[in-house]
Chain A
Amino acid sequence: MSRPSPLIFTVLLLFQLSFMSTQTHATTIKHDAGSLTLEKTPTRIVVLAFSFVDAMAVAGVSPVGIADDGDKNRVIKRVRHLINDWQSVGSRYQPSLEAIAALNPDLIIADSGRHQSIYQDLSRIAPTLMLQSRGITYQENLLVMQKIALALNKSAQVEERLKQHQQLMLDLKNQFNNNDSYQFAIISDKGMWLHTPSSYAGSVIKALGLNSPLTKNSNEAYLQSSFEQLLKTDPDWLLVGQYTENTVLDKWQTSPLWKMLTAPKSKQLIHVSPNVWSLASGMLAAEQIAEELVQSLTP
């Protein structure tokens, strides 16, 4: 066996040097599964949660693939208008690894609340960021959005937009001058779930300085509420997002107790889109939630 020629060493050394020089320009992002170093700005990005799509729309970058549950309408309108068309990579609960690999991405952004078990598989396809989306609050999401901006090398732009957002939220906040309580709830044929201030919609309501009718502090994001508990909670404004055609409200409305609730009595029961209020959980969604709340003030 011949000894390796000095040429090979030189080549290896040069290679390593060039590698090191690019690394000094690289960005390192701390995420929920360690830290990820990106050597150049990614351009083909696949995201596996709706709040990440929102963050990318803010940064002005279009993802090539989204885990949109096979339904493009699940991405809310104001986000859809800001990005180019994308390929669906399956559902959020079980994204298709093949579809993701076929898009040949250079960055995948996955939900640490949902995709922990496929992190290794995703990392083999492309560098993967694990960030929180499921069960996130309004404030937490703003931090996640800034991390995504860093990865996309759009920090300055997003920072600018964030300032606008904060100004908008402040302006909207100043339009409320009542002590009314506001409650968002998801309703289906199985029951009603109140979204507490630990949920996304609840934390947006809280950020606007509005009261929650829930007196007990709870770490639970969602509380199932029977009719009796709703009567006790009795919010001044009740915003409901409906998942199924028939809901428990249909039954409750026929009860003599229904007219004892404040919200329907003062025509402050409002139907809103569960996609915006519960699924989206991004900054642009928060703006829409806030605007819808303000609109409700002027019938």
Chain B
Amino acid sequence: MNISLSARQTWPLKPAILITTLLSGFMFSLYGQSEFLLQANDLWQILIAPDSNNIKQQIILSLRLPRSLVACLIGFNLGIAGLLMQGLTRNPLASPTLFAINSGAACLMALNSIGFIFFSGLPSEVATFLGALLGGGLVFLLGGGLRSNNNILRLILAGIAINGLLTSLTRAALIIADDKAYSILHWLSGSLSEVDWQSWSQLWPVSLVALLLAFSCSRGLNLNALGEQTAASLGINVTWLRIRVCLAVLLLTSISVTLAGPIVFIGLIAPHLARALFHNNHFVLLPASGLLGAALVCWSDLLSRTIVPGAETPVGIVTALIGTPFFIYLVLKGKL
């Protein structure tokens, strides 16, 4: 009784803080760190006196707004994908990286950039998306795929093997690319500098489908946390759950990596933060992890613009800088 009371007392506080952090990050990213010295007032002006010839308003509407929206949704996707992976494997170290989605995307993107035979005709986005699906699909099939009663360790090992293969292919492509390598390297670090309204229109439909699929797995993941056999005995079709979760992770990560490159660590940090803040219920954890991921990417993108003023620094560098110490902290605290 006491526990439920205290939970009820604090419950509006934590989500409120979380949503405030996200919203403030979103607002700041609309006008912060601009060479044009945009101000909060410019946001207000857009609402009360829209002017299509005003360069500041146009920058916010056609460059900043899509970038902030894409940053938030990608963060949301990655946060959810991370939680799904950890919930499915019951391994706190699991993240979408395990599925070789990032390395698959990177590999085909790099091969596409150097004009490798099969991929030279494809638009870069299509090649990247195919690469993400290919990497994820390979790990899924090698790791036991549709068979029931398979070992989760097998999935992890398959992930490591495929990751290794794809990463070495990417390196080879980078060496051959030479002069173009810096643009590929930039993308490989995860960058939001080239997203626009077109990216947003590609991102949201795929994300919506994948997120609905993810939320439909909440109950299954809650029971799966008790162990696969317990879940099965409580009426969960574990194989079907695994397929749905894998498909959701695949879609969420693939579309994100296609548009912004691999933004690392979000899928690892966001679920851990969510678990530290809220209790272990996937109905709460899923949106919480998503919102945390969104806030992280949004603020990281804002920070990434301050590193070299006047030039773009990949946002993936910032998330890695935040993620690594956090990871060490988790290890030291014995949470892993």
A residues with a Cβ closer than 8 A to B are: 69, 91-94, 188-191, 193, 214, 216, 218, 220, 222-229, 231-232, 243-244, 246, 248, 251, 255-257, 260, 278-279
Contacts and interface: CB of A to CB of B under 8 A. Distances in A.
Contacts of A248: 194
Given A226-B312, A228-B36, A232-B36, A191 B183 contact: yes
Contact of B35 (A92, A190, A232, A243): A232
Contacts of A223: 308, 310-311
A244 B120 CA distance: 11
Most chain B beta-carbon neighbours within 10 Å: one of A69, A189, A220? A189
A196 to B, nearest CB: 10
B198 interface: yes
Interface in B45-96: 52, 55, 58-59, 62-64
A189 B311 CA distance: 17
Given A190-B187, A222-B182, A228-B59, A91 B176 contact: yes
Contacts of A92: 178
How many B residues touch the partner, as a band? 20 to 34
Interface string B175-197: 11011101110110001011010
A231 B183 contact: no
A278 B52 CA distance: 37
B179 A279 contact: yes
17 contacts: A189-B124, A190-B186, A191-B194, A193-B182, A193-B183, A214-B310, A222-B182, A223-B308, A223-B310, A224-B186, A226-B194, A228-B59, A229-B310, A243-B179, A251-B196, A278-B179, A279-B179
A66 to B, nearest CB: 15
A286 to B, nearest CB: 19
A193 B180 CA distance: 11
Nearest to A252: B196
B227 interface: no
A228 B35 CA distance: 8
Interface string B153-190: 00000000000000000000001101110111011000
A115 B295 CA distance: 44
Contacts of A246: 123-124
A188 B180 contact: yes
B309 interface: yes
Contacts of A228: 34-36, 59, 63-64
B266 to A, nearest CB: 21
B51 to A, nearest CB: 12
A260 B59 CA distance: 11
A242 to B, nearest CB: 12
A256 B193 contact: no
Nearest to B54: A260
B62 A255 contact: yes
A191 B196 CA distance: 13
A229 B178 contact: no
Nearest to B174: A93
Most chain A beta-carbon neighbours within 10 Å: one of B182, B184, B191? B182
A248 B312 CA distance: 15
B184 A190 contact: yes
Contacts of B308: 220, 223
A93 B172 CA distance: 11
B222 to A, nearest CB: 42
Contacts of B124: 189-190, 246
A225 B183 contact: no
A251 B194 CA distance: 10
A279 B52 CA distance: 41
Given A93-B178, A222-B182, A257-B59, 19 more contacts: A91-B178, A93-B176, A190-B124, A191-B183, A191-B191, A193-B182, A216-B309, A224-B186, A224-B311, A225-B312, A226-B193, A226-B194, A228-B36, A228-B59, A229-B310, A231-B59, A243-B183, A248-B194, A256-B58
A161 B105 CA distance: 51
A220 B63 CA distance: 25
Closest 8 CB pairs of A and B: A232-B35, A190-B183, A223-B311, A226-B193, A224-B312, A93-B178, A257-B58, A228-B63
A243 to B, nearest CB: 6
Contacts of A260: 55, 58
Contacts of B113: 190, 244
A112 B52 CA distance: 52
A106 to B, nearest CB: 28
Contacts of B198: 251
B62 A224 contact: no
Contacts of B62: 255-257
